[in-house]
Structure 1
């Protein structure tokens, strides 16, 4: 009989087309009167107009991986203008910066995602400093209100929709074999994978398909909710390692690595892989994800993302330096082979038989 613990992270969710218009009332509901708006001029222009006199300052240059130096610059702006509420509109860079500021100030956040990253509903923050990326979990970084306006995602190009969507897919996949897995997150993960798997091909075929965009955005929300409830495994560790140490693009790195991390863990997580395969309508989960990425024109190799082959030994060293929960034990040889395949863009090997070694069969 399974035993588990489940903690729901509280957040107010507004979902639907046109919900951006409710931004001012949501800010006021949190007691906000002096807003720092985080987001590029293109992303945040309409939000700025809606905020009107509530808008006190803007930060228009959020950076991927949330460098602490950039956070320091934005923090000075918060203090200079007496900001009492943070509003972030955009992808993981804007939302990550809002989280980093909330951690340091305790200020409430309203976030409006324009991609499918899912980080807006997690209490997880990743930050980079001196060439390394670390993550922490704290209720202080969880946004109080998330506004999912489907219309905001229409401007996301098809290619970025694919990589962002696979980023979200990774949250759901790893939730199925996390040590903290439970019936609630299992159901959310399967639903997220199903929605993303059917939405992304439709978005590539017609980026203006609002119903497909809504499906993908709901899938991202559910996937992020999973990530916020369980721990992260090999896939996320590798992405944080490569992103922090080698400055690789976040969503693209997720897209390349996910099939290979799944293939590595497949022998030790057969039940999880069966759930993923069924949700995607394929027979082999890692190969199915790889073929989906290929079909949608997404990146398939670390080489095309700018990682040098000479960087692979250092990546292996960093990825295996600190133990962390994972269904299959980590070895330097195994991770080296995984990254070698991912660097060349090879299709992952078909899943082998279940790993029956002690500590190797959790799923």
Structure 2
């Protein structure tokens, strides 16, 4: 069967609902776009004083934050910069950030960096609103990785006990997003490429995520095609802004902003990543490198026929020949994802991150909200398979 013969993978699910998120006013993209987009968003959102939320490394080791500060200063809208946001957004940093915002009197939040600053900014806005009972402050996200946290209505952060928790509200979606490839040049290679695999995790798991509409799944197919193409190219030529901008747009397509009528979780790979990340200090991009390919292989065995067909359909968009069966095509997708992880130099194991082997059943249990799910033993086996 040729790659063009995809009739057996046609989906029959033609019922659903779609709406934009309530708050998003615009996504601006292109190299250098921060210089023009940020002033436009300040005008649109009536922002007069901004708090920048970022991480220590980006603040101390690059000029990225200074560039954003300068744009705000030129508009007379710079308040202060809070740069104590750690990996997985520890709640202690969020508390300090709330105090910094109150002290400077900011009326708009600008996050700069990866998923942790973006999620921390959303958490700050959430807790401020809960305390005051007022409106949600507007948030402009300027991502420097490919993790795609800026497209969601949720904020994940880490409690003092090391457990990752989340809050969500439609009004937490950023009001503006700026995808400026120039600001990603300072992002370390491993972080850039691994968060690209995080975007791939979004694109793949959206193919079987409940309530995702077919047009969004087609965007995920294109996201997969671009991630497979441009991640190796970006690794080979890290200063190429075209490749970086293509990858930022692919990240956007992988988690297209959408208003769900009710909450819809992504899937096993993400659930495992959330439980592994904060507790064992594994970056979220790396958790996707660990869990995505084996999760797809598991889906070849356990998914519904509809979900298998959506996964199998990815091969057509990746210019890969069909194996002749839906299950075979899903397994083939798993194999080429794993090969990409290897080719990008991102292959690792749970043992390398010092995850105790005896913790694996507990990780699976927390990821699946208990052991009653019939696939629980298979998820434990999945973790065993990536242990060493």
TM norm. shorter chain > 0.5 = yes
- When structure 1 is superposed on structure 2, of 214-223 and 130-139 the one drifting more is 130-139
Alignment partner, residue 334 of structure 2: 286
Match of 2:311 in 1: 273
Separation in structure 2 between the aligned mates of residue 169 and residue 300 of structure 1, nearest angstrom: 17
Per the TM alignment, residue 227 of structure 1 is displaced from its structure 2 partner at its CA by 7.9
Q: CA RMSD in A?
A: 2.0
- Structure-2 separation of matches of 1:149 and 1:123: 22
Task: For 1:80-95, list aligned pairs within 5 A.
Answer: 80-95=103-118
1:183 is the counterpart of 2:214: yes
Contact 2:220–2:254 (CA<8 Å) still a contact in 1? yes
Q: Which residue of 2 aligns with 1:307?
A: 355
Shift of 1:58: 1.1
Q: Cα–Cα, structure 1 residues 245 and 108, in superposed 2: closer, same or farther, change >3 Å? A: same
Residue 57 of structure 1 corresponds to 80
Q: 2 CA distance for matches of 1:178 and 1:340?
A: 25
Cα displacement (A) at 1:246: 2.5
Q: Deviations over 1:208-266 (max 9, x none)?
A: 12221121111001112168755311111111111233332211111111111111112
Determine the structure 1 residue equivalent to 2:8.
none
Contact 1:157–1:207, Cα closer than 8 Å, also in 2: no
Residue 74 of structure 1, CA deviation: 0.5
In 1, the alpha carbon distance for the partners of 2:194 and 2:166 equals 21
Residues 335 and 114 (structure 1 numbering): CA distance in 2 closer, same or farther, change over 3 Å? Answer: same
1:26–1:145 CA contact under 8 A, matched in 2 = yes
Alignment match, 2:198: 167
**2:69 aligned to which of 26, 48, 52:** 48
Q: Give per-residue Cα distances to partners, 1:320-357, cap 9 Å, x unaligned.
A: 33489xxxx5533111100011112xxxxxxxxxxxxx
Does 2:363 match 1:342?
no
Please state if 1:257 is matched with 2:295. no
SS of 2:239 mapped into structure 1? coil
TM-score under structure 1 normalisation?
0.88
CA gap 1:163/1:111 in 2 versus in 1, 3 angstroms: same
* Residues 104 and 152 of structure 1, relative CA distance in 2, 3 Å threshold: same
Q: Name which structure has the greater RCO, CA cutoff 8 Å, separation 6+.
A: 2
Distance 1:275 1:330 in 2: 26
Give the number of equivalent residue pairs: 340
- Aligned 8 A contact 2:151 2:257 in 1: no
Note if contact 1:126-1:135 (Cα within 8 Å) is conserved in structure 2.
Answer: yes
User: Does the Cα contact within 8 Å between 2:271 and 2:368 map onto a contact in 1?
Assistant: no
- Residues 320 and 330 of structure 1 are in contact (CA less than 8 Å); yes or no, is this contact kept in structure 2? no
For 1:348, the equivalent position in structure 2 comes to: none
1:118 aligns with 2:148: yes
Q: CA deviation at 1:199?
A: 0.5
CA–CA distance in 2 between the matches of 1:322 and 1:144? 36
Corresponding residue for residue 135 of structure 1: 166
Q: Distance in 2 between matches of 1:287 and 1:305?
A: 23
Q: 1:18 aligns with which of 10, 15, 32?
A: 32
Tell whether the 8 Å contact from 2:19 to 2:259 is kept in structure 1 after alignment. no
Where does residue 31 of structure 1 map in the other structure?
46
Q: Check 1:219–1:227 CA distance in 2 against 1; reply closer, same or farther (3 A cut).
A: farther
Note if 1:240 corresponds to 2:274: yes
Is the aligned partner of 1:198 residue 2:215?
A: no
Contact 2:123 2:167 in 1 (8 A): no
